[in-house]
Structure 1
Amino acid sequence: MSANNTSAKQTDKATTSASLAFSSLIPDVILDAVESTGLWSDSRIYPLNSYENRVYQVGIEDSAPVIAKFYRPERWTEAQILEEHATLLKLKADDVPVVAPLEFEGKSLFSHKGLFFCLSPRLVGQHPEADNLDELYQLGELIGQVHQKMSDQPFSQRISVSPLMQIDQAAKQILSANVLPKKLTPIYQQQIAKLRDMCEKRIQTYWPAQLRPVHGDSHRSNLMLHQGQFHLLDFDDCQNGVAVQDLWLHLTQTESPRQQLSEIIEGYENYLPFETRELDLIDVFKSVRVINYAAWLQSRWSDPAFVKAFPWFGSEEYWLNHLNELKNCELEWGNISR
């Protein structure tokens, strides 16, 4: 057997072992990982709401609890995670309200049982109210501040957003997995093709000459009002992207999305000018998010946590609802940005 084959088999074995450890994290493994950093746990563990990664609140003897985050194997490389951490630590040093990983002897990323993990302080607070215009203004300010501080240089390790590629990959994944009922497959293909064409035309009309570092997933659950100040959480999806990616998710289905948008942009422009042509990309990112969600569920179906949390996925009713969502994306095209 060649050295290359031996190395490949060892890598595959390590990957399988890490995946098994991740899907069945037990308290002893979690506590051993936390205590490997030098902390002493009081053995209290509370799982937090996270599907992509595994996140727990862990009690610490004679101190405040910490948040332990175990990264899903093979999703990000070590270099990509370290770039995320470096960004957060820089933002914290610049007094930007984010939650940065804790460092121990100059390290923020650790490995246990083949799993990468990090620890961070616990933050207690409330998520923003969906339709509160004052809070939307504050959120705009926070995102503007984050973008300003991250604007020094693009990420070198993280991904760069590519909407058309995302649509193509998601559709290919769904169709190749044979999870769609056969009678709905032609309808799905037609709807995806139509939305892709609409996205391509919008991108051809305007796409920024240079992408910028963005959070990438700044929905309300990733924002926390703590001691009167909003904090931006979980930079797991940080990437090179477009400013409006971090803004449009705060627009809710109300009669006045333009007023909401106005408040967000007004707050944002206290730190950076906003290119209004990016508003025409909202429909693109909205469509991509809807298309990707189904592919994300399908790609994680081997994880028992997903089977338990999303038992309805794959049913004919699910796919009918998904096709309806795709149709609504088309019908709502341009309602927000114009």
Structure 2
Amino acid sequence: MSDTPYADLDPDRILDAVESVGLHADGRVLALNSYENRVYRVGIEDAPPLVAKFYRPGRWTDAAILEEHAFAAELVAADLSVVAPLKHAGATLHAFGGHRFALFPMRGGHAPELGDREVLTHLGRVLGRMHAVGDGQRFAHRGRLGIESHGEDAVHYLLENRWLPPDLEGNFERLAEALLDAMDACAERAGDVHELRLHGDCHPGNILWRDGQAHFVDLDDCLTGPAVQDLWMLAGRREDCAKPWAWLLEGYEQFRRFDRRELHLVETLRTLRLLHHNAWMARRWHDPAFPAAFPWFEAPRHWESVITQMQEQLAALHEPPPEPA
């Protein structure tokens, strides 16, 4: 894979790609906030603008991308508000100039207010319905969320590629080993929990709230895992999460039973996100967009902060799970 995977993706190529599927662009291209992929708002003649998403080369197979698209279409067919790719020229995944891309309708909205009971109950209802659909089939080409894939692999990558300042490396390694052991213990307490197809990256930035409704976007990280993965980022930190959890589950269980044993996994999932995110940044550092956007990532102060967060997570992993009020 090229060290500069999007170097040739200039406005002319973006417009040519969009027009290759039979549309007529009006020349307007606006880059939207995205780093893993490249995403643009593209003006269309005599029609609303579209969102063009260019997939990072080498990350997903065509089969995995099409499985994402099929899952989104399945959710839409179940009358769930998910922003799914549009079909043009008989397909949702297109290729042009060495790039793969998909086109989506443009949707507006803002992040939901997570301190509001009605909002969280609504989000719980939507996720309960989404998971009822997600449990109906299985992914064949997407990943699975696990301690090894999102924890051990992340730690090994950071250590083997010497991302830690030398004076912090030993502390990081010891903490990582303790975290992995503690996460294994949490998994044992949770037991053999059921797994299903998930949104996978269900943080507030991937939910557009408009006119009292939640509209879910960006299924790029959809994968197989426990239902709680799509819930925990909406419930806040553990010190004030009892009511948010109760409100979420009040809505969720109108459509699907939630296994309370999965609450033992909340801090494990928070820890995995911390480790996986830092390894993701390191793996993408060859892309010029990353050093430009995150210049602090290589600074010792950042890694000192990571170690502090790891220490906090180690303590949290030994505490009881959240108890919905």
TM range (shorter): over 0.9
**1:209, CA displacement in angstroms?**
5.1
Q: State the match for 1:98 in structure 2.
A: 82
Aligned to 1:263: 247
Partner residue, 1:28: 12
**CA distance in structure 1 between the partners assigned to 2:159 and 2:238 by the alignment:** 34
Q: Which residue does 2:154 correspond to in 1?
A: 170
Q: Distance in 1 between matches of 2:117 and 2:284?
A: 36
Distance in 1 (alpha carbons) for counterparts of 2:79 and 2:238: 34
Aligned to 1:232: 216
Q: Distance in 2 between matches of 1:51 and 1:24?
A: 16
- Name the aligned partner's letter for residue 245 of structure 2: L
* Structure 2 residue identity aligned to 1:174: L
Structure 2 counterpart of 1:156, one-letter code: A
**SS at 1:91 equivalent:** helix
**Counterpart pick for 1:56 among 40, 47, 64:** 40
- Letter matched to residue 134 of structure 2: M
In 2, Cα distance between equivalents of 1:142 and 1:223: 11
1:78 aligns with 2:66: no
The share of aligned pairs that are identical, in percent, is 38
Are the counterparts in 1 of residues 22 and 89 from structure 2 also a CA contact under 8 Å? no
CA distance in 1, matches of 2:244, 2:312: 21
Contact 2:4 2:286 in 1 (8 A): no
Looking at structure 2, the residues matched to 207 and 280 of structure 1 have their Cα atoms a distance apart, in angstroms, of 9
Give the corresponding residue for 1:199.
Answer: 183
Give yes or no for the alignment of 1:133 onto 2:117: yes
Aligned with 1:337 (options 318, 322, 325): 322
Residues 281-335 of structure 1: per-residue CA shift (max 9 Å, x gap):
0011011111112111110100111011100111111110110011111223336
1:289 to 261, 273, 289: 273
Amino acid at match of 1:292: H
- 1:146 partnered with 2:134: no
Change (3 A) 1:276 1:209: closer
Report whether the alignment pairs 1:121 with 2:109: no
Instruction: Tell me the TM-score normalized by structure 2.
Output: 0.95
Is 1:213 paired with 2:204? no
Partner of 1:46: 30
Q: Which amino acid aligns with 2:29?
A: I
User: Measured at CA, do residues 198 and 310 of structure 1 come closer, stay the same or move farther in structure 2, by a change above 3 Å?
Assistant: same
Cα distance in structure 2, aligned partners of 1:142 and 1:277 = 21
Runs of at least 5 residues in structure 2 that lack an aligned partner in the other structure? none
8 Å contact 1:96–1:146 — kept in the other structure? yes
Q: Which amino acid aligns with 1:219?
A: H
Amino acid at match of 2:21: T
Greater shift after overlay, 67-76 or 127-136? 127-136
CA distance in 2, matches of 1:326, 1:131: 26
Give the paired residue count.
322
CA, structure 1 residues 232+208, in 2 after alignment: closer, same or farther (shift >3 Å)? farther
Deviation at 1:250, TM superposition (A): 0.8
Does the Cα contact within 8 Å between 1:53 and 1:71 map onto a contact in 2? Answer: yes
TM-score for the superposition, normalised by structure 1: 0.92
User: Secondary structure of 1:318's match?
Assistant: helix
Distance in 2 between residues matched to 1:261 and 1:41, nearest whole Å? 45
Q: Distance in 1 between matches of 2:5 and 2:298?
A: 26
1: CA distance between counterparts of 2:109 and 2:194?
A: 36
